[in-house]
Amino acid sequence: MIMEYLGRNLESHFKKLNYNFSLKTVTLIGEQMIDRIQYIHSKGFIHRDIKPENFITGINNNEKILYLIDFGLAKRYKSKNGLHIPYRDGKNLTGTLRYASCNTHLGIEQSRRDDIESIGYCLLYFLKKKLPWMGIKAKNNKERFKKIMDVKINTKLEIICDGLPKEFAIIVQYSRDLRFDEKPNYQALKKLLRKVGDDNFFPFDGMFDWISNKNNNYKNDNDIINNTKSDNNHENYKDNDNDEDNDKDNKNDNGKDNNSKENNDNKIENNNNNKKDNNYEEKDDLKFDENLILKESDFL
Protein backbone atom coordinates (compact mmCIF):
# COMPACT_ATOMS: atom_id res chain seq x y z
CA MET A 1 0.00 0.00 0.00
CA ILE A 2 1.28 3.47 -0.89
CA MET A 3 0.10 6.44 1.19
CA GLU A 4 0.72 10.13 0.73
CA TYR A 5 3.37 11.57 3.05
CA LEU A 6 1.87 14.36 5.17
CA GLY A 7 3.00 16.92 7.71
CA ARG A 8 2.00 17.82 11.25
CA ASN A 9 -1.44 17.57 12.78
CA LEU A 10 -3.18 20.73 13.97
CA GLU A 11 -2.54 20.02 17.65
CA SER A 12 1.17 19.75 16.90
CA HIS A 13 1.14 23.07 15.03
CA PHE A 14 -0.80 24.67 17.89
CA LYS A 15 1.71 23.45 20.45
CA LYS A 16 4.67 24.49 18.29
CA LEU A 17 3.26 28.02 18.08
CA ASN A 18 2.84 28.21 21.88
CA TYR A 19 -0.92 27.60 21.64
CA ASN A 20 -1.46 30.81 19.75
CA PHE A 21 -3.31 30.75 16.43
CA SER A 22 -4.42 33.97 14.78
CA LEU A 23 -8.08 34.58 14.00
CA LYS A 24 -7.22 34.26 10.32
CA THR A 25 -5.67 30.82 10.77
CA VAL A 26 -8.61 29.53 12.83
CA THR A 27 -11.06 30.78 10.21
CA LEU A 28 -9.07 29.15 7.40
CA ILE A 29 -8.97 25.92 9.40
CA GLY A 30 -12.72 26.06 9.99
CA GLU A 31 -13.56 26.40 6.32
CA GLN A 32 -11.41 23.42 5.34
CA MET A 33 -12.76 21.33 8.24
CA ILE A 34 -16.29 21.91 6.98
CA ASP A 35 -15.23 21.08 3.42
CA ARG A 36 -13.70 17.78 4.52
CA ILE A 37 -16.62 16.68 6.66
CA GLN A 38 -19.08 17.67 3.93
CA TYR A 39 -17.31 15.28 1.58
CA ILE A 40 -17.34 12.45 4.14
CA HIS A 41 -21.04 13.03 4.80
CA SER A 42 -21.75 13.02 1.06
CA LYS A 43 -20.46 9.45 0.97
CA GLY A 44 -22.91 8.35 3.66
CA PHE A 45 -20.50 8.31 6.62
CA ILE A 46 -20.02 10.29 9.81
CA HIS A 47 -16.54 10.57 11.33
CA ARG A 48 -17.42 10.56 15.06
CA ASP A 49 -13.94 11.60 16.22
CA ILE A 50 -13.38 15.14 15.00
CA LYS A 51 -10.39 16.64 16.85
CA PRO A 52 -7.24 18.65 15.99
CA GLU A 53 -5.06 15.52 15.95
CA ASN A 54 -7.13 14.10 13.09
CA PHE A 55 -6.48 17.00 10.73
CA ILE A 56 -3.09 16.85 9.05
CA THR A 57 -1.40 19.47 6.90
CA GLY A 58 0.12 18.67 3.54
CA ILE A 59 3.71 19.34 2.56
CA ASN A 60 5.47 21.09 -0.31
CA ASN A 61 2.87 22.19 -2.88
CA ASN A 62 0.06 20.93 -0.64
CA GLU A 63 1.09 22.77 2.52
CA LYS A 64 -2.09 24.87 2.41
CA ILE A 65 -4.35 21.80 2.41
CA LEU A 66 -5.79 20.04 5.47
CA TYR A 67 -6.41 16.29 5.37
CA LEU A 68 -8.90 14.45 7.57
CA ILE A 69 -7.59 11.11 8.86
CA ASP A 70 -8.40 8.25 11.27
CA PHE A 71 -11.69 6.65 10.31
CA GLY A 72 -11.54 4.00 13.02
CA LEU A 73 -14.74 5.28 14.61
CA ALA A 74 -16.49 6.28 11.39
CA LYS A 75 -19.94 4.84 10.76
CA ARG A 76 -22.60 4.87 8.10
CA TYR A 77 -25.43 7.24 8.90
CA LYS A 78 -27.32 6.05 5.85
CA SER A 79 -28.21 2.45 5.16
CA LYS A 80 -27.38 0.88 1.82
CA ASN A 81 -30.89 1.67 0.60
CA GLY A 82 -30.36 5.37 1.35
CA LEU A 83 -32.40 5.62 4.54
CA HIS A 84 -31.08 7.53 7.53
CA ILE A 85 -30.23 5.40 10.56
CA PRO A 86 -32.93 5.46 13.26
CA TYR A 87 -32.82 7.67 16.31
CA ARG A 88 -31.65 5.80 19.40
CA ASP A 89 -30.59 6.71 22.92
CA GLY A 90 -28.89 4.85 25.73
CA LYS A 91 -25.63 4.74 23.74
CA ASN A 92 -22.11 4.76 25.17
CA LEU A 93 -19.90 7.73 24.36
CA THR A 94 -17.94 7.34 21.13
CA GLY A 95 -15.17 9.78 20.25
CA THR A 96 -12.97 12.19 22.19
CA LEU A 97 -14.40 13.65 25.37
CA ARG A 98 -13.12 17.19 24.85
CA TYR A 99 -14.81 17.66 21.48
CA ALA A 100 -17.83 15.35 21.82
CA SER A 101 -21.23 16.92 21.18
CA CYS A 102 -23.81 17.45 23.90
CA ASN A 103 -26.09 14.81 22.41
CA THR A 104 -23.21 12.32 22.38
CA HIS A 105 -22.73 12.91 26.11
CA LEU A 106 -26.43 12.25 26.61
CA GLY A 107 -26.15 8.86 24.93
CA ILE A 108 -27.95 9.80 21.73
CA GLU A 109 -27.00 8.13 18.45
CA GLN A 110 -24.62 10.34 16.49
CA SER A 111 -25.44 11.85 13.11
CA ARG A 112 -24.10 14.61 10.87
CA ARG A 113 -24.91 17.35 13.37
CA ASP A 114 -22.47 15.91 15.92
CA ASP A 115 -19.49 16.18 13.56
CA ILE A 116 -20.37 19.84 12.98
CA GLU A 117 -20.63 20.55 16.72
CA SER A 118 -17.23 18.93 17.28
CA ILE A 119 -15.73 21.17 14.60
CA GLY A 120 -17.16 24.15 16.47
CA TYR A 121 -15.45 23.05 19.69
CA CYS A 122 -12.14 22.62 17.85
CA LEU A 123 -12.35 26.19 16.60
CA LEU A 124 -13.23 27.52 20.06
CA TYR A 125 -10.28 25.61 21.51
CA PHE A 126 -7.91 27.23 19.01
CA LEU A 127 -9.31 30.69 19.73
CA LYS A 128 -9.62 30.47 23.52
CA LYS A 129 -6.70 28.06 24.15
CA LYS A 130 -8.81 26.32 26.77
CA LEU A 131 -12.40 25.15 26.97
CA PRO A 132 -14.38 25.39 30.24
CA TRP A 133 -14.52 21.59 30.59
CA MET A 134 -10.77 21.07 30.24
CA GLY A 135 -8.71 20.15 33.29
CA ILE A 136 -11.64 18.88 35.34
CA LYS A 137 -10.51 16.65 38.21
CA ALA A 138 -12.44 13.61 39.39
CA LYS A 139 -11.97 10.39 41.32
CA ASN A 140 -12.51 8.20 38.26
CA ASN A 141 -13.53 8.31 34.62
CA LYS A 142 -17.21 7.88 35.34
CA GLU A 143 -17.27 10.92 37.61
CA ARG A 144 -15.16 12.95 35.19
CA PHE A 145 -17.47 12.07 32.28
CA LYS A 146 -20.40 13.37 34.31
CA LYS A 147 -18.64 16.60 35.32
CA ILE A 148 -17.50 17.35 31.76
CA MET A 149 -21.01 16.70 30.44
CA ASP A 150 -22.56 19.02 33.03
CA VAL A 151 -20.15 21.86 32.27
CA LYS A 152 -20.47 21.49 28.50
CA ILE A 153 -24.25 21.40 28.53
CA ASN A 154 -24.87 24.05 31.17
CA THR A 155 -22.28 26.70 30.24
CA LYS A 156 -23.93 29.29 28.03
CA LEU A 157 -22.39 29.87 24.62
CA GLU A 158 -22.20 33.61 25.26
CA ILE A 159 -19.77 32.80 28.10
CA ILE A 160 -17.74 30.25 26.15
CA CYS A 161 -17.51 32.59 23.14
CA ASP A 162 -16.95 35.81 25.06
CA GLY A 163 -14.72 38.17 23.07
CA LEU A 164 -14.98 36.18 19.83
CA PRO A 165 -16.75 37.05 16.58
CA LYS A 166 -20.37 35.99 16.99
CA GLU A 167 -20.15 33.69 13.96
CA PHE A 168 -18.36 31.03 16.01
CA ALA A 169 -21.18 30.92 18.55
CA ILE A 170 -23.69 30.73 15.71
CA ILE A 171 -21.92 27.69 14.26
CA VAL A 172 -22.09 25.79 17.56
CA GLN A 173 -25.67 26.90 18.29
CA TYR A 174 -26.76 25.91 14.79
CA SER A 175 -25.26 22.44 15.15
CA ARG A 176 -27.01 21.94 18.48
CA ASP A 177 -30.34 22.97 16.99
CA LEU A 178 -30.20 20.58 14.03
CA ARG A 179 -32.64 17.68 14.01
CA PHE A 180 -31.19 14.19 14.25
CA ASP A 181 -31.56 13.41 10.55
CA GLU A 182 -31.23 16.95 9.21
CA LYS A 183 -28.63 17.78 6.59
CA PRO A 184 -26.31 20.60 7.76
CA ASN A 185 -26.13 23.69 5.60
CA TYR A 186 -22.42 23.47 4.85
CA GLN A 187 -22.37 26.37 2.43
CA ALA A 188 -23.96 28.74 4.91
CA LEU A 189 -21.52 27.64 7.62
CA LYS A 190 -18.59 28.43 5.34
CA LYS A 191 -20.26 31.73 4.48
CA LEU A 192 -20.21 32.63 8.18
CA LEU A 193 -16.46 32.04 8.29
CA ARG A 194 -15.97 34.07 5.14
CA LYS A 195 -17.80 36.91 6.82
CA VAL A 196 -15.30 36.77 9.70
CA GLY A 197 -12.56 37.22 7.12
CA ASP A 198 -14.35 40.10 5.44
CA ASP A 199 -15.01 41.84 8.75
CA ASN A 200 -11.36 41.53 9.77
CA PHE A 201 -9.86 42.28 6.34
CA PHE A 202 -7.90 39.10 5.75
CA PRO A 203 -7.91 36.99 2.59
CA PHE A 204 -8.63 33.28 2.38
CA ASP A 205 -5.23 32.59 0.84
CA GLY A 206 -4.27 29.46 2.76
CA MET A 207 -1.44 31.24 4.58
CA PHE A 208 -1.70 29.55 7.97
CA ASP A 209 0.44 30.83 10.84
CA TRP A 210 2.86 27.91 10.55
CA ILE A 211 3.50 28.84 6.91
CA SER A 212 3.86 32.60 7.36
CA ASN A 213 5.95 32.20 10.55
CA LYS A 214 8.50 29.70 9.27
CA ASN A 215 11.86 30.23 10.92
CA ASN A 216 14.75 28.26 12.37
CA ASN A 217 12.80 27.43 15.51
CA TYR A 218 9.89 25.96 13.58
CA LYS A 219 10.87 22.69 11.96
CA ASN A 220 9.67 22.29 8.40
CA ASP A 221 6.97 19.69 7.82
CA ASN A 222 9.33 17.84 5.48
CA ASP A 223 11.33 16.86 8.56
CA ILE A 224 8.37 15.42 10.41
CA ILE A 225 8.34 11.64 10.65
CA ASN A 226 5.78 10.84 13.32
CA ASN A 227 3.03 13.08 12.02
CA THR A 228 -0.04 11.59 13.66
CA LYS A 229 1.08 11.15 17.25
CA SER A 230 -1.11 13.04 19.69
CA ASP A 231 0.58 15.72 21.79
CA ASN A 232 -2.12 15.54 24.44
CA ASN A 233 -3.62 12.66 26.37
CA HIS A 234 -7.09 12.94 24.87
CA GLU A 235 -9.41 10.11 25.80
CA ASN A 236 -10.84 8.26 22.85
CA TYR A 237 -13.81 5.94 23.29
CA LYS A 238 -15.46 3.49 20.97
CA ASP A 239 -18.68 1.55 21.06
CA ASN A 240 -19.19 -1.69 19.20
CA ASP A 241 -21.93 -0.74 16.76
CA ASN A 242 -22.82 -3.19 14.04
CA ASP A 243 -23.56 -1.18 10.90
CA GLU A 244 -25.41 -4.12 9.39
CA ASP A 245 -27.88 -4.14 12.28
CA ASN A 246 -28.52 -0.60 13.44
CA ASP A 247 -31.59 -1.59 15.43
CA LYS A 248 -29.64 -3.95 17.66
CA ASP A 249 -29.65 -3.20 21.38
CA ASN A 250 -26.31 -1.62 22.27
CA LYS A 251 -26.37 -1.85 26.05
CA ASN A 252 -23.45 -4.26 26.16
CA ASP A 253 -21.05 -1.96 24.27
CA ASN A 254 -17.70 -1.46 25.94
CA GLY A 255 -15.82 1.86 25.78
CA LYS A 256 -12.11 1.73 25.10
CA ASP A 257 -9.60 4.30 26.31
CA ASN A 258 -6.68 4.42 23.90
CA ASN A 259 -4.48 6.88 25.80
CA SER A 260 -5.22 6.60 29.49
CA LYS A 261 -4.16 3.95 31.98
CA GLU A 262 -7.54 4.24 33.64
CA ASN A 263 -9.57 2.24 31.16
CA ASN A 264 -11.69 0.07 33.38
CA ASP A 265 -14.36 2.59 34.28
CA ASN A 266 -15.17 4.42 31.09
CA LYS A 267 -18.90 3.90 30.72
CA ILE A 268 -21.43 6.62 31.40
CA GLU A 269 -24.65 5.62 33.03
CA ASN A 270 -27.43 7.47 31.28
CA ASN A 271 -30.50 7.64 33.48
CA ASN A 272 -32.28 9.94 31.06
CA ASN A 273 -33.59 7.46 28.52
CA ASN A 274 -36.78 9.43 28.10
CA LYS A 275 -35.01 12.65 27.11
CA LYS A 276 -36.25 14.09 23.84
CA ASP A 277 -33.88 14.97 21.04
CA ASN A 278 -33.38 18.70 21.51
CA ASN A 279 -34.15 19.41 25.17
CA TYR A 280 -30.64 19.09 26.53
CA GLU A 281 -29.63 22.73 26.54
CA GLU A 282 -30.82 25.96 28.06
CA LYS A 283 -31.36 28.59 25.41
CA ASP A 284 -29.00 31.51 25.73
CA ASP A 285 -29.51 35.17 24.90
CA LEU A 286 -27.48 35.27 21.70
CA LYS A 287 -29.15 37.39 19.06
CA PHE A 288 -28.61 35.96 15.59
CA ASP A 289 -28.21 38.37 12.69
CA GLU A 290 -31.13 37.77 10.32
CA ASN A 291 -28.70 38.01 7.38
CA LEU A 292 -26.74 35.06 8.77
CA ILE A 293 -29.63 32.70 9.40
CA LEU A 294 -28.95 29.43 7.61
CA LYS A 295 -31.49 28.90 4.86
CA GLU A 296 -32.28 25.97 2.60
CA SER A 297 -31.88 28.31 -0.39
CA ASP A 298 -28.14 28.45 0.32
CA PHE A 299 -27.88 24.94 -1.11
CA LEU A 300 -29.15 26.07 -4.51
Encode pLDDT of 268-278 as tens digits. Answer: 333 333 333 43
- Active-site pick, 35, 49, 239, 241: 49
pTM of the model: 0.77
Encode pLDDT of 161-218 as tens digits. Answer: 999 999 999 999 999 999 999 999 999 999 999 999 999 999 999 999 999 987 545 6
Predicted local distance difference test score (pLDDT) of residue 16: 96
Residue 3: pLDDT band (50, 70, 90) is confident
Residues of the chain with pLDDT > 90, as a percent, come to 68
Query: Is 223 annotated as catalytic?
Result: no
Q: 223 pLDDT exceeds 80? A: no
Give me the CATH topology for the region 10-221+243-287: Transferase(Phosphotransferase); domain 1 (1.10.510)
Q: 285 pLDDT exceeds 50? A: no
3-state secondary structure the chain: CCCCCCCCEHHHHHHHCCCCCCHHHHHHHHHHHHHHHHHHHHCCEECCCCCHHHEEECCHHHCCCEEECCCCCCEECECCCCCECCCCCCCCCCEEHHHCCHHHHCCCCCCHHHHHHHHHHHHHHHHHCCCCCCCCCCCCHHHHHHHHHHHHHHCCHHHHCCCCCHHHHHHHHHHHHCCCCCCCCHHHHHHHHHHHHHHCCCCCCCCCHHHHCCCCCCCCHHHCCCCCCCCCCCCEECCCCCCCCCCCCCCCCCCCCCCCCCCCCCCCCCCCCCCCCCCCCCCCCCCCCHHHCCCHHHHC
Sequence ranges of the domains in the chain = 10-221+243-287
